[in-house]
Amino acid sequence: MLTKFSVENFRNFKEKLSIDFKQEHDYKFNTECVNNKIISKIVVFGNNGEGKSNFGFAMFDIVRTITDLFVDTGAYDVKNFLNADSDLDYAEFNYEFKFGEDVIKYNYKKSNVTTLKSEELIINNELIYIFDFEKKDGEFNLSRIGAETLNIDKENIKISILKFISNNTVQKEDSVISKLIEFVKHMIWFRSLGANAFIGFETDVDELNEWIVKNNLTKDFEEFLRNMAKVNMNLTNAKIGNSEFLLDKHKKRALIFNDIASSGTKSLQSFYYWSKRFEKASLVFIDEFDAFYHFELSENVIKLLLKYKNMQAILTSHNTNLADNKLMRPDCYYILKSGKIKSFVDSTQRELREGHNLSKMLKEGEFDE
């Protein structure tokens, strides 16, 4: 699991922004939000312009760095990479993962979205390598990961050393490197806004309707809409021209799903698509997850995510009514403000208990310190 993350000088984060998922508190309720004392489900609140989307883009930069998985450049504008007010010519990314008893620290600096300046990998406090891409110099202890015979062309290598190791060595399935790479390959960022904008997990984009039809999920999707949002449709499918269409059957005629579905229903379709991958997902980041949802549906989405114990999930939202101890707990709600991200627990001197009205406290500024 991802246990810590920080980023500096990336987009609107001039100073270091850090989050530590190990800062769980000993609450006895809603324990499904925590896995092995690591916070696994969080909701991030923040005003427009505070950087909730950029927080997700920063965390998922590792997907672009060490894999060949899809990155939606329409969602993630790669031109504005560094902070516009900083004198630094690089952004710095720091990740800490824990798999069993193994702790992995992976750090790197980039001058733009594709150009690495330096990279470092540490496993259980032992340096595996550190490399400066500009000086073409570094220190390597690759025997620790069974890659001592690997020939790295220091003068010409341009991709991540970790990616190069992964691509050019045979790692055992239970090796630390395999676990790290597999975790990153199973991270998913998406926006539940109708269009299938995403980062990670897949190598190409699926058209949602065609995917549902191709996988014989028309009736399953119909039931999903009914159970999650009380949307009652009689769905079928048909080929029109060269494309497959979802249709909503009525007495007189069938209507094309995309023509009649509300923004919320289309958003839920995107969520449905990705929910079919949650069993294998390591970390899911849903940006503006409830932008088109009514309150009950927003709650249902969170409740569904809570069922996936081994999957970390991060949601961003403006809906302060979701801050409710009946749904999650104070150490799983965060505020992103002025380049800092802190849980409710760490944003007040008051001892937060199960009976507190978190939404009211949030609106009244209790967590502004």
DSSP 244-288: EEEEEE-SS-EEEHHHH--HHHHHHHHHHHHHTTTTT-SEEEEET
State the pLDDT confidence band at 102, using cuts at 50, 70 and 90.
very high
The proportion of the chain whose per-residue pLDDT surpasses 90, expressed as a percent, equals 85
Paired tokens of 68: 């060949």
**Contact yes or no for 24/343 (Cβ under 8 A):** no
For 295-323, how does the pLDDT look when each residue is reduced to its tens digit (9 = 90+)? 999 999 999 999 999 999 999 999 999 99
343 token code pair? 């849980």
pLDDT at 368 over 60: yes
pLDDT of residue 193: 63
- Single out the residue of 252, 250, 248, 293 nearest to residue 270, CA to CA: 293
333-337, strands of its sheet edge to edge: 198-199, 187-191, 283-287, 312-317, 41-45, 333-337, 340-343
Per-residue pLDDT at 194 exceeds 60: no
Predicted confidence at residue 204, as pLDDT, reads 87
Predicted pLDDT at 300: 95
Residues 123-148: pLDDT tens digits? 999 999 999 999 999 999 999 999 99
pLDDT of 195:
63
pLDDT digits (tens, 9 = 90+) for 251-305: 989 999 999 999 889 999 999 999 999 999 999 999 989 888 899 999 999 999 9
Average confidence (pLDDT) over 321-326: 96
For residue range 346-355, what is the model confidence (pLDDT) as tens digits? 999 999 999 9
Segment 221-262, tens digit of pLDDT:
999 999 999 999 999 998 888 878 899 999 989 999 999 999
H or E segment to which residue 109 belongs: strand 102-110
- Domain boundary assignment for the chain: 2-201+277-363, 210-263
Name residue 47's amino acid: N
For 2-201+277-363, the fitting CATH number among 3.30.1310.10, 3.40.718.10, 3.40.50.300, 3.40.50.1100 is: 3.40.50.300
CB atoms within 10 A of CB 155: 6
Mean pLDDT, the chain, as a whole number? 94
The dihedral sign for the CA sequence 194, 197, 198, 204: positive
* Residue 219: band (very low, low, confident or very high) from pLDDT cuts 50, 70, 90: very high
**pLDDT for position 369:** 66
Angle at 204 between CA 3 and CA 287, to 5 degrees: 45
